[in-house]
């Protein structure tokens, strides 16, 4: 008999996730948990069962663009994959965007929503992308208080009826680049029937959206981001005709292959200013911060999926006379990944908690400052973890992790986008630094970590708590001693941000572990804190010489 490998299997991904269940028991009032748990369990069953099988069957399908109809008319029709069509239906029916706006569980509605996203996303092939932008667009319209646009678009963006539900695009990136948005070249001209946009959008994700928020420079406005304005547009009119928008081509990307990402030409697209004719970047910031939160939760959920599969496989696969799960070396490797995934999860959901408090008007000034600082820190930290964990998880399958029809390589390809879109690690490090310069922000961050670390009384958590405190003290010292203009400080911004992100994760792990010990929920969480504390938390290194970087990059 020749040997045949057992594929990894998934069960109910809610029941198989002790951290998610512990966390929800800790963070939600019992009545809210009682209300949302049946749906989460249902989605866990779906995500590990029917939807997962469908995802594997859908592997080779990709979106298709048809630019012309048979009679020569421009159509620019984009056909989505079967899984995406199913994901769109599920997302609307379960309110993946709607829940925080319905607010049935008050400030906890965000947690409910993000728990659903966390469960479904790994089997939805990045349908989280249009949902994130839709959520961000809804939040932005509400925050900017444009009553007319809120009345027109919000009921669609938050609809639970798949036939009525809209998604939104977020068109920012142009040929000049995705980071320095201030150089946006799209021009807005006032015509007799309103504003019209002209330009090229170089990277627009999920281009099947019914509306978009985008940036353009009203003619005559000054250069720079303050001269940009935020515009709302609908992509087609009531008869389905394109609104002065042509799809030039779909992008051929490393991952997110199911996301129809396109290059667009705007040639007189009708659009409405959302909030005046300037300060476009500031006005789109709510959208950026929301998609960064989604990015963080998606990073945590991708890590969880990779580990569900790798852990299950380790219990089936035998090599050298034993199951992999019984080999200390294999266990040690997976344990390190598990600690990373748990830290990322707790940071992601901490940001979701704060977002929910702010939206429900339950926040104080401290929560607001904390949310502003934690959003970029969490996005940049978890993005890096997601790639590292996915890469190691693939290796845990040996060659099978590198073979396409196992469905495993997708985990790494789709993780690789997370540190790139919505602001790269370096750009977000700079954003975090800017947020930390707001008076009271550093203090809010310190209080946050001290609270979690102060709670960790168990002797087994003393070492991890001290490691987190040391890293934070080092980061604060670096922040206080350095000046913006110094090259060494500028060069260290990413290390500083990652240190803060990782130290935050460690402090949250300590706090959660103590709660688990107090509630008789076992010692797994404490083990995660201990393991994480040994995995490069403090990356601040004032001894690194920027002159070496110049030499290595050959810059005179």
- CB burial of 47-77 (b: ≥16 within 10 Å; e: otherwise) equals bbeebbebbeebbebebebeeeeeeeeeebe
Q: What is the number of other CB atoms lying within 10 angstroms of the CB of residue 175?
A: 12
- 44 is written with which tokens? 């866990």
Residue from 298, 309, 311, 539 binding ligand MFK (CB under 6 A): 298
Q: Is 179 in the site for ligand MFK (CB under 6 A)?
A: yes
Which of residues 291, 333, 381, 425 is near ligand MFK by CB under 6 A?
291
Interface with ligand MFK includes 173 (CB under 6 A)? Answer: yes
Q: Which of 56, 400, 427, 488 binds ligand MFK (CB under 6 A)?
A: 427
Contact between 288 and ligand MFK by CB under 6 A: the answer reads yes
* Spacing of C-alpha 301 from chain mean position: 10
Residue 235 CB, nearest distance to ligand MFK (Å)?
15
Candidates 174-182, 262-270, 344-352, 518-526; binding stretch for ligand MFK (CB under 6 A): 174-182
**Closer of 8 and 423 to ligand MFK (Cβ):** 423
Comparison of 33 and 115: residue with beta carbon closer to ligand MFK: 115
**What is the rounded distance in angstroms from the CA atom of residue 264 to the CA atom of residue 412?**
28
Smallest distance from the beta carbon of 132 to ligand MFK, in angstroms?
A: 4
Under rule CB under 6 A, residue 474 binds ligand MFK: no
Q: What's the CA gap between 425 and 417, in Å, rounded?
A: 11
Indicate whether 172 belongs to the interface with ligand MFK (CB under 6 A).
yes
* Distance (Å, whole) CA 293 – CA 431: 14
| CA–CA separation, 314 and 391 (whole Å) | 16
The CA distance from 144 to 281, in Å, is 13
What is the three-class DSSP state of 319? strand
Minimum distance from residue 267 beta carbon to ligand MFK (Å): 21
Per-residue binder mask for ligand MFK (CB under 6 A), 431-450, x = binder: x-------------------
Closest C-alpha to 190, from 266, 246, 265, 268:
268
The whole-angstrom separation of Cα 177 and Cα 199 is: 14
Check binding of 84 to ligand MFK (CB under 6 A): no
425 in Cβ contact with 417 (< 8 Å): no
| Binding of ligand MFK by 129 (CB under 6 A) | yes
Is 208 a binding residue for ligand MFK by CB under 6 A? The answer is no
Query: ∠ CA(251), CA(254), CA(257), 5° rounding?
Result: 65
Give how many residues touch ligand MFK by CB under 6 A: 28
Q: Does 422 bind ligand MFK (CB under 6 A)?
A: yes
Q: Which positions touch ligand MFK (CB under 6 A)?
A: 128-129, 132-133, 170, 172-173, 178-179, 181-182, 205, 225, 279, 281-282, 285, 288-289, 291, 294-295, 298, 421-423, 427, 431
């Amino acid at each position: 008999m020749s040997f045949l490998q057992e594929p990894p299997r998934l069960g109910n991904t809610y029941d198989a996730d002790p951290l998610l269940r512990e966390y929800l028991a800790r963070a939600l009032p019992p009545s809210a948990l009682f209300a949302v748990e049946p749906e989460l369990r249902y989605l866990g069953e779906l995500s590990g069962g029917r939807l997962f099988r469908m995802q594997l069957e859908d592997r080779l399908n990709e979106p298709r663009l048809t630019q012309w109809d048979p009679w020569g008319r421009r159509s620019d029709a984009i056909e989505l994959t079967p899984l995406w069509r199913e994901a769109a239906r599920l997302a609307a029916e379960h309110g993946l965007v709607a829940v925080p706006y319905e607010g049935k569980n008050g400030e906890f509605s965000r947690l409910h929503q993000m728990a659903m996203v966390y469960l479904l996303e790994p089997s939805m092939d990045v349908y989280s992308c249009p949902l994130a932008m839709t959520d961000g667009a809804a939040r932005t319209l509400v925050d900017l208080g444009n009553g007319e646009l809120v009345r027109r678009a919000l009921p669609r963006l938050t609809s639970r009826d798949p036939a009525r539900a809209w998604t939104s695009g977020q068109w920012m990136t142009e040929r000049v680049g995705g980071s320095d948005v201030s150089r946006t070249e799209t021009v807005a001209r006032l015509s007799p029937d309103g504003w019209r946009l002209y330009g090229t959008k170089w990277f627009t994700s999920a281009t099947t959206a019914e509306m978009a928020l985008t940036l353009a420079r009203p003619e005559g406005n000054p250069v720079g981001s303050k001269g940009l304005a935020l515009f709302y547009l609908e992509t087609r009119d009531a008869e389905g005709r394109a609104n002065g928008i042509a799809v030039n081509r779909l992008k051929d990307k490393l991952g997110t292959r199911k996301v129809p990402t396109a290059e667009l030409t705007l040639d007189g697209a009708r659009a409405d200013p959302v909030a005046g004719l300037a300060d476009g970047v500031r006005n789109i910031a709510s959208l950026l911060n929301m998609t960064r939160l989604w990015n963080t939760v998606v990073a945590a959920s991708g890590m969880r999926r990779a580990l569900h599969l790798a852990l299950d496989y380790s219990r089936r696969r035998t090599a050298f006379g034993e199951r992999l799960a019984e080999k200390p070396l294999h266990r040690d490797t997976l344990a390190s990944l598990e600690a990373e995934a748990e830290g990322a999860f707790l940071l992601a959901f901490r940001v979701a908690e704060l977002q929910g408090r702010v939206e429900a008007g339950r926040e104080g000034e401290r929560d607001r400052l904390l949310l502003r600082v934690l959003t970029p820190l969490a996005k940049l930290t978890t993005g890096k973890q997601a790639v590292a964990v996915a890469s190691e998880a693939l290796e845990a399958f040996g060659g099978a992790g590198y073979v396409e029809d196992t469905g495993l390589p997708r985990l790494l390809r789709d993780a690789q986008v997370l540190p790139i879109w919505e602001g790269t690690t370096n750009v977000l490090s700079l954003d975090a630094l800017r947020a930390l310069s707001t008076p009271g922000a550093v203090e809010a961050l310190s209080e946050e970590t001290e609270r979690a670390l102060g709670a960790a009384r168990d002797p087994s958590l003393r070492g991890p708590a001290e490691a987190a405190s040391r890293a934070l003290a080092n980061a604060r010292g670096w922040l206080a001693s350095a000046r913006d203009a110094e090259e060494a400080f500028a060069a260290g911004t990413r290390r500083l941000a990652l240190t803060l992100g990782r130290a935050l994760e460690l402090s949250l792990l300590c706090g959660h572990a103590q709660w688990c010990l107090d509630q008789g929920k076992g010692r797994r969480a404490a083990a995660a804190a201990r393991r994480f504390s040994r995995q490069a938390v403090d990356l601040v290194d004032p001894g690194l010489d920027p002159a070496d970087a110049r030499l290595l990059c050959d810059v005179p």
